[in-house]
Chain A
Amino acid sequence: MYYTFNTHAVWAIYKSEMARAFRNIMQNIISPVISTCLYFVVFGAASGLRLLKVDDVNYSTFIVPGLVMLTLVTQSITSASFGIYFPKFTGTIYEILSAPISPLEIVIGYVGAAASKSIMLCLIILFTSSFIVEITVSHPLIMILYLILISVTFAMLGFIIGICAQNFEQLQIIPLLVVTPLVFLGGSFYSIDTLPPFWRTMSLLNPVLYLTSGFRWSIMEISDVNPVSSVVVGFTLFSVCLTCIYLIFRTGFCLRR
């Protein structure tokens, strides 16, 4: 039996990963939605911040893309890293490595499932937020494409973390100590125009700022940076992650002995 693409294998991995998400629906879906809604309540509705306006947009509406981005990035990483790390932890990775499946197909299966889950979560959060704040999506198609690009990119990062991690603690280091601070400091809850010049310049070095700004532009047509630069940064991160994964599979790093 010769084939150039093992569709059945990709589908098996994808289905298995999606089933895992729905098996733990409380942890994987309901909990992130509730957490994000709490951010709305604290930052957008319950405090005096609701009276603020940023670029003629209510503050509570302004933070929606940032919160969605926070969920998208963290869930994409967590889901993909856990997805590939768990078979390593239980030893069932032998089955993946001995199957007639190429590295690309393995990545499509795991990253595809992680990206699907995080996009689904973000759409639920956007839908939920529409009950709390007034929000209209200006460019729905661009927004969806942006969600796909960012979720796939960070799911690949999560996949890399999952492959390299030697224990559960290492799974959490990059998401908690690197990615989450970058998201918080990347204009999720404020416009960088409000920052002093030095910190504004420093913020421009944060890649997540471009992603959040681009995503915000697709929803409400306001952005801290040029939307084109957001797309360029998105594709650059995508290429870097893809190259790392290619090198991991090519050398067998952390996988084959």
Chain B
Amino acid sequence: MPDMISITNLSKTYSSGFQALSSVNLDIRRGEVFALLGPNGAGKSTLINIICGLVDSSSGSVMVDGQDVIRKYRYTRSIIGLVPQELNTDTFETVKNTVCFSRGLFGKPSNYEYIEKILRDLSLWDKRDCLITSLSGGMKRRLLIAKALSHEPAVLFLDEPTAGVDVKLRHDMWRMVRNLRESGVTIVLTTHYIKEVEEMADRVGVINDGKLLIVEQTQVLIRKLGKKKLIFQLHYPTINIPEILSPFELCISESGMELTYSYNTPKECADIRKLLNALNDVGLTFSNLYTEQSSLEDIFLELIENGKA
């Protein structure tokens, strides 16, 4: 079975001359939750919009379920659901009618039982006959998800789905995403909440200035690029680090009460025993020690700032 989405050498330059994407290559596997991270203007939405048919690419190709999104647009679009970033809704329509409209638009016959199930799952059933204009922001966000799910898509794009929603709704959405993944739906999400990625994504891609910097499994990325720190809280303050400890590149805190050893590679990890012995030899005693690990957010910021891949 081919990957659910396969992107090859995709580039996009807008008529203004702005290059939003530059030779992007990306494969998204079936049934995974893939998170696309990047600062504003990095090219996340452009990438999604090209896959969904809202923006024309300048060059390159996109395959969804093994089919070209331009030549076989009827098939590819029929299995894609899109939840856009903006709360775009037909204000004067009712909740149920707009979801039924979306289902029809994507070529599916009416199925009121299924529509009822979606609306119940998203806690919108009680509002089914209300005008969209009367819904709160959170409800409108859920309505957009209901519309995207109305035609039972195999791939769901969530473009910043939790932007501006409260904590409870955000957790509800995370639960919904997990349920969808369990049912076999491939999910591609963009978000600014790194916590969201850590919670949900199987793999993460970092994009900046239209270039895909890295694609990796979330936990592997944290392990590979994350830094670990071993921090010693000393009994007595120290001003200088003895010469014998220089190979360990220790950092001293402003108060002189903490020494920090950064390690990541297996060799650096193995050096901890030597460090402890060296500390003992120079008579630096400590009352406590603990470890810290850099978060995905730290890694993301480092990638963006250094353009490191």
Interface residues of A (CB under 8 A from B): 1-3, 6, 8-9, 11-13, 15-16, 19-20, 23, 86-87, 90-92, 94-102, 252, 256-257
**Which of A6, A13, A94, A96 lies in contact with B74, CB distance below 8 A?**
A6
Contact call B75/A1, Cβ cutoff below 8 A: yes
Decide: B105 and A99 in contact? CB cutoff 8 A. Answer: yes
| Chain A residue at smallest Cβ distance from B52 | A98
Docked Cα-Cα span, A23 to B147, in Å, equals: 22
Partner of B89, one of A9, A90, A99: A90
Q: Are A2 and B89 in contact (CB under 8 A)?
A: no
Query: Is B101's beta carbon under 8 Å from chain A?
Result: yes
* B244 CB-CB contact with A under 8 Å: no
The interface of chain B, by Cβ under 8 A from chain A, is: 14-15, 49, 52-56, 73-78, 80, 82, 84, 86, 88-93, 97, 100-109, 147
Known contacts A95-B102, A98-B80, A100-B73; decide if A3 and B86 are in contact (CB<8 Å): no
Chain A residue contacts of B74, Cβ below 8 A = 2-3, 6, 100, 102
Given A87-B90, A90-B88, also A101-B75 (CB < 8 A) = no
Residue of B with least CB distance to A8: B104
Does B91 lie within 8 Å of A90, measured CB to CB?
yes
Q: Say whether B106 contacts A9, CB under 8 Å.
A: yes
Q: Report, nearest first, the 4 A-B pairs whose CB atoms are least far apart.
A: A12-B104, A91-B88, A100-B77, A100-B74
Chain A residues, CB < 8 A from B76? 100
A-B contact pairs, 17 of them (CB 8 A): A1-B78, A8-B107, A9-B106, A9-B107, A15-B101, A87-B90, A90-B89, A90-B91, A94-B84, A94-B88, A95-B102, A98-B77, A100-B73, A101-B105, A256-B54, A257-B15, A257-B56
Cross-chain contact of B88 among A13, A20, A92, A257 (Cβ < 8 A)? A92
Inter-chain CA distance A20–B100, complex, in Å, is 15
Q: A12-B101, A19-B97 are in contact. List 5 more A-B contacts (CB 8 A).
A: A91-B84, A95-B105, A98-B54, A99-B106, A257-B14
**B87 nearest CB neighbor, chain A only:** A91
Bound Cα distance A100, B86 (Å)? 21
CB pair A92 B108 closer than 8 Å? no
Contacts of B55 in A (CB 8 A): 256-257
Chain B residues whose C-beta falls within 8 Å of the C-beta of A97 in the assembled complex: 53-54
**Set of chain B residues within 8 Å of A98, measured between Cβ atoms:** 52-54, 77, 80, 82
